A and B are shown apart, each in its own frame.
Chain A
Amino acid sequence: MAAIESTPVRAGATSVPCGHAIGSEKWRGTELAKLLQGKVKVVFEDGLGLVDFHLSNRTCILYISESDLVSGNAFRRRLVRFRKACNLNGIVIAERTRLSDQYYPPVQNFVVLELGMALLPVTNQKEAAQLIFHLVQERSREGNCNLFIRKKSFQLPDASVLQTVQKIPGVGRVKALQLLQHFPSIQKLSNASVAQLESVLGRAIALNIHSFFHTT
């Protein structure tokens, strides 16, 4: 136990091969381990400390059972120690059952809001196995597969700039194009004097545009 205490997170477990997971020895032979078999290649190792499973890509899983949730705060200390010990991404999986349901909201506040970790509820080890399988899959995919990762759009902003200029009161598409021919950026347009604007459009609209930029 003393050895585990001194190494909260095993060094070297940060590079796990694709499709694999390193599991803590204590999970060997459990229902969860059996359910994972054939889906995820789990290598069991001693001395993972606070972590239950290491997934590839600097992510690891900390598991909170129903009885952990019900019996009090020991798991909180474990999570805090993990958070302090390393900067791996910690995903906490918690057994949210009928029995432990009432304990879930404060735990969620603690884990997600205070510690800034992810917390995912499952009702049993079967669901946990399914979830871990998907987490491993997600992490072993090639780069750009994740649809939720913001992609840079390569669109040139010309069409948007034209739209933006049309938001100036009294300026439609035709006037916006005329203005941008003479003052090609929003910054240049904003600095145009009334006289300069008047040379492109009429006096009244020139005054309007000038006052839009300088009084609103």
Chain B
Amino acid sequence: PIRTTPCILADTREISSGPEVISYLRTALGVKVEVCSLAGCDYIVSNRLAVERKSQSEFANAANRNKLVDRIQHLQHLFDRVCVVIEKDRVKPGETSRIFQRTRYYDSTLSALISAGVQVLFSSSQAETASLLKELALLEQRKNTAIDVPTEVKGHKQEAMQFYLSIPNVSYITALNLCHRFDSVAQMANSSVQVISDRAHMSAQKAEELYRYVHYMFEEEMVPPENPTK
């Protein structure tokens, strides 16, 4: 395969929380970073890998437990692979670096993540996180799962993009692949599991889920009544 510069999708919220990660990726590492609204995911590094970036203090705080669990479970539904980067907190000028207190919560959370097959990486700065993201993207490229579709969606295709994104467990990159790899939504809806899997670079299991969804026979009685407050 031809080596091109890898492409990474970053969530819009990372502009404020990790500005150096993005600028470092772009300027020092020559990675194409596209900022999109990824809804609940920090970085998408390939067709199957999502990366969640957490500061060490945020990760170690037991008060954030439910938030972390929800987030990781959400990512596990959308992606075949999930990676968490635990990044050391930035020390502001004039501040002495706090000594990190390792707690039981911290160790049991790490153990549970590892046992659930989530990859865990440790970073000491935003710059290091950027190089880890690049390494991950290059590795995924070697495994032929790199992002290789245009990251922008033009004109009426945006409507198809919104349509695909509303399907359960379809990630932003999968929606992009579906948009660009099929001529039309009807063509996708009439494709076999194999064709969906091959064209949209989805695992056989994910392609089958999508196939079932598209063929699912709707019954109105099964829809909960409309919430009047919504």
Contact = CB atoms under 8 A, between A and B. Distances in A.
A158 B167 CA distance: 11
Interface residues of A, number: 56
B93 to A, nearest CB: 22
B110 A120 contact: yes
Interface string A143-157: 000111111010011
Given A157-B168, A164-B166, A177-B220, A148 B69 contact: yes
A131 B109 CA distance: 10
A112 interface: yes
B213 A161 contact: yes
Contact of B186 (A112, A148, A190): A190
B204 interface: no
Interface in A88-141: 91, 101, 104-105, 108-109, 112-113, 118, 120-121, 127, 130-131, 133-135, 137-139
Contacts of B222: 156, 158-159
Contacts of B220: 158, 177, 180-181
Contacts of A139: 115
Given A105-B128, A167-B162, A191-B190, A130 B104 contact: yes
B116 A146 contact: yes
B133 to A, nearest CB: 11
A34 interface: no
B76 interface: yes
B73 interface: yes
Contacts of A73: none
B130 to A, nearest CB: 12
B195 interface: no
Contacts of A43: none
B159 A169 contact: yes
A161 B226 contact: no
A160 interface: yes
B115 to A, nearest CB: 5
B131 to A, nearest CB: 8
Q: Is the interface of B mostly helix, strand, loop or mixed?
A: helix
Contacts, number: 152
Interface stretch (B3-11, B18-26, B31-39, B119-127): B119-127
Contacts of A113: 135-136, 139
A26 interface: no
B92 interface: no
Contact of B185 (A101, A109, A212): A212
Interface of A: 59, 91, 101, 104-105, 108-109, 112-113, 118, 120-121, 127, 130-131, 133-135, 137-139, 146-151, 153, 156-164, 166-169, 173, 177, 180-181, 184-187, 190-191, 212-216
20 contacts: A118-B114, A120-B120, A134-B107, A138-B114, A148-B113, A148-B115, A150-B77, A158-B216, A158-B219, A158-B220, A160-B168, A164-B163, A164-B167, A169-B159, A173-B226, A180-B218, A184-B217, A186-B215, A191-B189, A214-B186
